[in-house]
Amino acid sequence: MECSMSRYAIKAACLVVTLPFSAALFAQNAVVSESFDTASPTDQVTDTPPEGWTISTYYTDDLSSPVALSQGKPEWLGWKFVQKATWNRLLTPNSSNQRAGFNLASNGIAVAESDGLRPLNGRRFTTKLSSAAFPVEAGQSYSIAFDSHYLQGQKPQNASAVAVFSNGSTHTLVQYDIDTLDGQNHQPNRTLSQTVTVPNGATTVNVQWLFDNTANNWYWAIDNLRIEKKEVEVAPPFDSSALPQSNKKPTMTVSPTLQGPGPDRMVVMFETTEAEPTVWVRKHGSSEAYTIVAAKNAEGNLADEKIFFAAIEGLDSNTLYEYAVITGNSLAPKLAGPYAFKTWPKEGDGVDKAHFITVSDTQDGLQERFKNIIEQGVLALDCGGSSLGCAQNIAAMLVPGDLVSTGSARAQWANHFFAPMQAISAYVPIIPAPGNHEYYGEDRVQSDTNAWMKTYRKYFYQAAPSESEKYPQHWFHTDYLGLRIISSDFNPASAMHNTSGWNTATYDFGRTLFREDYMREHLNWFTNLMADTKAKQKSHVFLLNHHPCLSTKWRGGEVVAACDFIAQLESYGEQTGAITANLNGHVHTYERGNSMNARHLWLTVASASGDLEPAQMPEDTDLDVFVNTDNAFGYGRLRVDFGKTKALQWERHNLRNNTISSVPDDAIEITNNTFNAKPVLPQRFLGQVEPDTVTLAYSLPNQADVYEAQWQVSQHPSFSNASATVFDVWGDKTRRESWTYIGKTRTNTQAGSDISQLALGEMLNKPARLYPNQSASTPIGQLYKQIVPGANDLAERWDCARRWDSNGDTAGQGRQGGRQCFAQLTNANGEKVSAFNPFGNQPIPVLAFANQQQWFWRVRVRDAHLNWSDWSDTGSFQLGETLPTPAAPVLSQLLSGSGLANSSLEISSTASCQAAQARTTTAAAIHLDIPAGWQAPYGAISFELEDCNQLGFNANVALTFDAALPEGAMVKKFNTTTGEMHDIAGLNITGNRIDYTVTDGGELDEDGQINGSIHDPLVVLTPVAAIAPAQATPVPANPVWSMAGLAALLLLLGARHHRRQSANA
Residue 535: its H or E element:
helix 516-535
Cα 709 to Cα 734: distance, rounded to the nearest angstrom: 5
Among 671, 703, 722, residue at a domain's last position? 671
Average pLDDT over residues 398-420: 94
SS3 (DSSP) at 946:
strand
* Shared-domain flag, residues 365 and 347: no
The 10s digit of each residue's pLDDT in 3-44 is 332 222 222 222 222 223 333 333 346 778 899 998 888 888
Q: Which amino acid is at 1027?
A: I
* pLDDT at position 221 over 50: yes
Average pLDDT over residues 864-876: 95
Name the domain count of the chain.
Answer: 5
Size of the chain, expressed as the number of residues it contains: 1065
Cα 498 to Cα 514: distance, rounded to the nearest angstrom: 8
Q: Which has the minimum average pLDDT: 237-241, 463-467, 925-929, 952-956?
A: 925-929
- Class of residue 33 by CB neighbours under 10 A (exposed 0-12, middle 13-18, buried 19+): middle
Predicted local confidence at residue 334, as pLDDT: 95
677 in any annotated domain? no
SS3 (DSSP) at 740:
strand
* Shared-domain flag, residues 439 and 586: yes
If you count DSSP H runs as helices and E runs as strands, how many of each does the chain have, helices first? 13, 57
SS3 (DSSP) at 150:
strand
**Where is mean pLDDT largest: 376-385, 837-846, 985-994, 1036-1045?**
376-385
pLDDT-derived band at 832 (thresholds 50, 70, 90) equals confident
* pLDDT at position 627 over 60: yes
Quick one: which of 697, 494, 717, 710 has its CA closest to 584?
494
Cα 897 to Cα 923: distance, rounded to the nearest angstrom: 11
487: β partners = 476, 544
* pLDDT at position 313 over 60: yes
The 10s digit of each residue's pLDDT in 234-267 is 788 999 999 999 999 999 999 999 999 999 999 9
What does each C-alpha distance from 205 to 163, 199, 468, 715, 775 come to in angstroms? 6, 10, 39, 85, 69
* Shared-domain flag, residues 937 and 1040: yes
868 in any annotated domain? yes
* Shared-domain flag, residues 83 and 192: yes
Predicted local confidence at residue 64, as pLDDT: 80
Bigger pLDDT: 908 vs 130: 130
The 10s digit of each residue's pLDDT in 756-774 is 999 999 999 999 998 898 8
692 in any annotated domain? yes
The DSSP letter of residue 156 is T
The DSSP letter of residue 235 is P
Chain-centroid distance of CA 560 in Å reads 12
Predicted local confidence at residue 630, as pLDDT: 96
340 in any annotated domain? yes
Q: Which amino acid is at 629?
A: T
Predicted local confidence at residue 93, as pLDDT: 59
Question: What's 123's domain CATH number?
Answer: 2.60.120.200
Average pLDDT over residues 744-763: 94
Predicted local confidence at residue 851, as pLDDT: 85
835 in any annotated domain? no
What does each C-alpha distance from 75 to 46, 82, 505 come to in angstroms? 8, 11, 40
Average pLDDT over residues 421-438: 96
What is the arrangement of strands in the sheet containing 291-294, beginning at the earlier edge strand? 291-294, 278-283, 320-328, 333-342
Chain-centroid distance of CA 610 in Å reads 20
* pLDDT at position 695 over 50: yes
* Shared-domain flag, residues 566 and 623: yes
The 10s digit of each residue's pLDDT in 153-188 is 888 899 999 999 999 888 999 999 887 787 788 899
What does each C-alpha distance from 476 to 260, 464, 471, 486, 827 come to in angstroms? 11, 7, 11, 6, 26
Chain-centroid distance of CA 283 in Å reads 35
219 in any annotated domain? yes
* Shared-domain flag, residues 512 and 570: yes
Predicted local confidence at residue 99, as pLDDT: 85
Q: Given the DSSP bridges, would you call strands 158-165 and 204-214 parallel, antiparallel or unpaired?
A: antiparallel
Note the pTM of the prediction, 2 decimals: 0.76
HEC secondary structure over 416-453 = HHHHHHHHHHCCCCEEEECCHHHHCCCCCCCCCHHHCC
740 in any annotated domain? yes
- Class of residue 796 by CB neighbours under 10 A (exposed 0-12, middle 13-18, buried 19+): buried
* pLDDT at position 406 over 80: yes
Predicted local confidence at residue 508, as pLDDT: 60
Among 230, 258, 279, residue at a domain's last position? 230
Average pLDDT over residues 628-654: 97
Burial string for 923-952 (b: 16+ CB within 10 Å, else e) reads bebbebebeeebbbbbbbbbbbbebbbbbb
The 10s digit of each residue's pLDDT in 802-823 is 887 755 544 444 445 567 777 8
816 in any annotated domain? no
Predicted local confidence at residue 1057, as pLDDT: 40
Average pLDDT over residues 387-408: 96
Beta carbons of 783 and 483 less than 8 angstroms apart:
no
Predicted local confidence at residue 20, as pLDDT: 30
Predicted local confidence at residue 118, as pLDDT: 93
The DSSP letter of residue 322 is E
**Where is mean pLDDT largest: 157-171, 637-651, 993-1007?**
637-651
Quick one: which of 337, 376, 342, 377 has its CA closest to 357?
377
* pLDDT at position 951 over 60: yes
Cα 82 to Cα 73: distance, rounded to the nearest angstrom: 15
* Shared-domain flag, residues 409 and 484: yes
- Beta-sheet strands, E only, within 749-879: 757-758, 853-863, 875-879
* pLDDT at position 1056 over 90: no
φ/ψ of 851, rounded to 5, equals: -65, 160
What does each C-alpha distance from 936 to 928, 944, 1030, 1035 come to in angstroms? 9, 21, 13, 21
Predicted local confidence at residue 5, as pLDDT: 28
* pLDDT at position 300 over 60: yes
What does each C-alpha distance from 921 to 374, 895, 915, 1054 come to in angstroms? 79, 11, 20, 14
HEC secondary structure over 540-587 = EEEEEECCCCCCCCCHHHCCCHHHHHHHHHHHHHHHHCCEEEEEECCC
List Cβ neighbours of 121 (8 Å cut-off, separation of 6 or more): 70
Secondary structure (DSSP) of 65-116? SPP-EEES-GGGSS-EEEEHHHHHHHT---TTT--TT-TT--SEEEEEE-TT
Percent of the chain clearing pLDDT 70 (strictly above): 89
* pLDDT at position 656 over 70: yes
Predicted local confidence at residue 591, as pLDDT: 97
Q: Is the peptide bond before 22 cis (omega within 30 degrees of 0)?
A: no
Q: Which amino acid is at 1024?
A: V
pLDDT-derived band at 1051 (thresholds 50, 70, 90) equals very low
Within 13 A of 690's CA, how many CA atoms are on the CB side? 4
The 10s digit of each residue's pLDDT in 98-112 is 888 899 999 899 999
Predicted local confidence at residue 446, as pLDDT: 59
Question: What's 507's domain CATH number?
Answer: 3.60.21.10
pLDDT-derived band at 833 (thresholds 50, 70, 90) equals confident
Cα 698 to Cα 645: distance, rounded to the nearest angstrom: 29
Predicted local confidence at residue 14, as pLDDT: 29
Bigger pLDDT: 890 vs 94: 890
* pLDDT at position 839 over 80: yes
* Shared-domain flag, residues 850 and 701: yes
Predicted local confidence at residue 867, as pLDDT: 97
Beta carbons of 192 and 174 less than 8 angstroms apart:
yes
* Shared-domain flag, residues 378 and 331: no
Bigger pLDDT: 514 vs 848: 848
* pLDDT at position 1065 over 70: no
* Shared-domain flag, residues 927 and 866: no
Count the neighbouring beta carbons within 10 Å of the beta carbon of residue 445: 10
* pLDDT at position 1036 over 60: no
* Shared-domain flag, residues 666 and 701: no
Question: What's 330's domain CATH number?
Answer: 2.60.40.10
Predicted local confidence at residue 230, as pLDDT: 85
The 10s digit of each residue's pLDDT in 480-502 is 999 999 999 998 888 766 555 54
SS3 (DSSP) at 793:
helix
The average confidence (pLDDT) of the chain is: 87
pLDDT-derived band at 228 (thresholds 50, 70, 90) equals very high
* Shared-domain flag, residues 200 and 51: yes
Count the neighbouring beta carbons within 10 Å of the beta carbon of residue 31: 17
Cα 317 to Cα 343: distance, rounded to the nearest angstrom: 5
Quick one: which of 401, 773, 670, 405 has its CA closest to 562?
401
What does each C-alpha distance from 895 to 68, 606, 837, 961, 1018 come to in angstroms? 105, 72, 49, 9, 14
Beta carbons of 884 and 908 less than 8 angstroms apart:
no
Look up the domain containing 947 and give its range. Answer: 888-1063
